[in-house]
Amino acid sequence: MAPRYESYVDHVLIPNGMVKDRIEKMALNIVTSFGNDKARSVTLLCVLKGGFRFLADLIHALESTIMARGTSLPMSMDFARIKSYVDILVVEDIIDTGKTMRYLLKYLESLSPRSVKVASLLLKRTPLSSGYKPDFTGFEIPDRFVVGYAFDYNDHFRDMHVSDSC
């Protein structure tokens, strides 16, 4: 960990290697799930800028999984032109209470997509939880504030080296 962060970070909750391994496993589960649902393509939606690093790593893992399996599952990223009859994968970095995700899903359902699934790298166990559980979860974590791996505090720590992780 960079010395400038040491006084602010209590400990590493999830090492980088575990994050990478879990994203690869999530990619396999996602490809299998959409394949079982006979999806022709998947539109990926990234929630806010914090989810971008997870989205980039997940896309890489999805592409590797698809190639290794010799299957086809075209992917695109688009929010403005979501139409009915498309399969959507919402990519979120962390779900705290689940209230925002429920609101987003309600909106997406109003667009009449073929299916909507959610992949979240982290799911926080908190007494404030609405009970929402994503379709694909990397890790369940305690009710702690996390930084690193694009998780930030007022735009600080987002640049924490990826090897430090969460």
Name the residue among 151, 146, 123 with its Cα closest to residue 135. 123
Query: Could you report the per-residue pLDDT of 66-79, keeping only the tens digit for each?
Result: 999 988 888 887 65
Q: How far apart are CA 20 and CA 135, in angstroms?
A: 19
Kindly list the distances between the CA atom of residue 108 and the CA atoms of 53, 161, 163, in Å, as whole numbers in the listed order.
23, 34, 35
Positions annotated as catalytic residues are 96
Backbone angles phi, psi at 77, to 5 degrees: -120, 125
User: What's the whole-number average pLDDT of the chain?
Assistant: 85
Query: Could you report the per-residue pLDDT of 155-166, keeping only the tens digit for each?
Result: 666 666 544 445
Q: Which neighbouring-strand residues pair with 91?
A: 46, 119
> Contact, 43 vs 88, CB < 8 A?
yes
> Contact, 73 vs 41, CB < 8 A?
yes
pLDDT at residue 154 is higher than 90: no
At 164 the pLDDT is 47
At 77 the pLDDT is 79
For residues 101 and 85, the model is more confident at 101
3-141: CATH topology: Rossmann fold (3.40.50)
